[in-house]
């Protein structure tokens, strides 16, 4: 469905699923909302870590309308689920931010790998989570991000099983989506990047490989800044809930 229709359904509580596989052709994004005091440093964190934090749009202080990527949208209502953090501690999951919003908040939209999955499907890549409209598996790694004054933490990745003879093709396809994490950061043994058990993701849902020749391929993930804002113990932060993204009106790539 069109991005505007999907957002309307979400706002009216008529859609409660992960956004994977919906609104094909439109860029999906991660959401991070921080107090003004931390906004410039968070933007720097994104610039220093463009793979996990590809910046699509930074809104003006207090604004909840992403005028560049989705005019007339409302970041307080147009995501299925949000996460609330206080002093780095996860507090609760919310269905909207209407009662939570404050005038000193600054919102950031960061590209998401859900955006390139339609292109992978078109090129014959079968992804169970995509076909079943589920959530992708995501893992914290032993790879450190480039720190700023306030923000630091591990790189988070998403994983998809890819047929071994199609890995190069997948690298080329996703490499064109530079605003949506681009090409993979690792292929093969998850232990090499500090993932002890691939069947137990830190976020999302695990899916078994389809064929014995499938290999795990890992992309930088927009859950990375959630780890960073927790480590920074920012007084108040809102993010999307992993897998429940904000869908923009921007076309893919």
Looking at the fold, whether 103 and 81 belong to one and the same domain comes out as yes
* pLDDT > 70 fraction of the chain, expressed in percent and rounded: 99
Evaluated on CA atoms 91, 81, 246, 131, the torsion sign reads positive
Looking at the fold, whether 126 and 219 belong to one and the same domain comes out as yes
Q: How many angstroms from the chain centroid is the CA of residue 34?
A: 16
Distance CA 46, CA 122 (A): 30
Looking at the fold, whether 88 and 122 belong to one and the same domain comes out as no
For residue 40, being part of any structural domain is answered with yes
Looking at the fold, whether 85 and 208 belong to one and the same domain comes out as no
Looking at the fold, whether 97 and 7 belong to one and the same domain comes out as yes
Domain that holds residue 138: 114-224
For residue 78, being part of any structural domain is answered with yes
Q: What is the mean pLDDT of residues 67-89?
A: 97
Phi, psi of 39 (to 5 degrees): -65, -45
For residue 188, being part of any structural domain is answered with yes
Looking at the fold, whether 156 and 234 belong to one and the same domain comes out as no
Phi, psi of 187 (to 5 degrees): -130, 135
Distance CA 109, CA 46 (A): 11
Number of domains in the chain: 2
Cβ distance 49 to 145 under 8 Å? yes
Q: 209 is written with which tokens?
A: 């490989």
Q: Which of 210, 59, 65, 198 is nearest to 137 (CA)?
A: 198
Looking at the fold, whether 158 and 220 belong to one and the same domain comes out as yes
For residue 82, being part of any structural domain is answered with yes
Looking at the fold, whether 138 and 192 belong to one and the same domain comes out as yes
pLDDT for 114 equals 83
pLDDT, tens digit, for every residue of 127-157? Answer: 888 888 788 999 999 999 999 999 999 999 9
Distance CA 123, CA 66 (A): 32
pLDDT for 252 equals 66
Looking at the fold, whether 84 and 168 belong to one and the same domain comes out as no
For residue 238, being part of any structural domain is answered with yes
Q: Which of 195, 219, 210, 221 is nearest to 30 (CA)?
A: 221
Q: 231 is written with which tokens?
A: 């480590």
For residue 23, being part of any structural domain is answered with no
Spell out the alpha helix ranges (H) of 161-211.
167-175
pTM, to two decimals? 0.91
Here the CATH number for the domain that contains residue 35 is 3.40.1640.10
Looking at the fold, whether 145 and 173 belong to one and the same domain comes out as yes
Looking at the fold, whether 101 and 145 belong to one and the same domain comes out as no
Here the CATH number for the domain that contains residue 217 is 3.30.2040.10
Looking at the fold, whether 136 and 213 belong to one and the same domain comes out as yes
Evaluated on CA atoms 145, 143, 130, 12, the torsion sign reads negative
pLDDT band at 243 (very low <50, low <70, confident <90, very high): confident
């Amino acid at each position: 469905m069109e991005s505007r229709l999907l957002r309307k359904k979400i706002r009216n509580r008529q859609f409660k699923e992960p956004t994977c596989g919906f609104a094909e052709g439109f860029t999906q994004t991660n959401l991070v909302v921080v107090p003004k005091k931390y906004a410039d440093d968070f933007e720097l964190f994104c610039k220093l870590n463009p793979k996990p934090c590809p910046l699509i749009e930074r809104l003006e202080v207090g604004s909840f309308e992403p005028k560049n990527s989705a005019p007339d949208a409302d970041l307080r209502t147009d995501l299925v689920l949000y996460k609330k953090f206080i002093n780095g501690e996860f507090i609760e999951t919310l269905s909207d931010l209407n009662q939570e919003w404050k005038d000193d908040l600054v919102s950031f939209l960061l590209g998401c790998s859900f955006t390139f999955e339609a292109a992978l499907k078109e090129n014959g890549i079968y992804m169970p989570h995509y076909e079943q409209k589920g959530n992708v598996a995501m893992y914290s790694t032993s790879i450190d991000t480039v720190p700023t004054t306030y923000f630091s933490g591990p790189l988070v990745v998403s994983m998809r099983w890819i047929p071994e003879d199609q890995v190069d093709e997948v690298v080329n396809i996703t490499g064109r989506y530079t605003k949506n994490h681009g090409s993979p950061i690792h292929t093969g043994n998850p232990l090499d990047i500090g993932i002890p058990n691939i069947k137990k993701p830190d976020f999302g849902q695990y899916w078994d490989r389809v064929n014995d020749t499938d290999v795990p391929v890992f992309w930088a993930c927009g859950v990375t800044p959630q780890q960073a804002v927790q480590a920074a113990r920012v007084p108040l932060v809102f993010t999307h809930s992993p897998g429940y993204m904000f869908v923009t009106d921007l076309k893919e790539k």
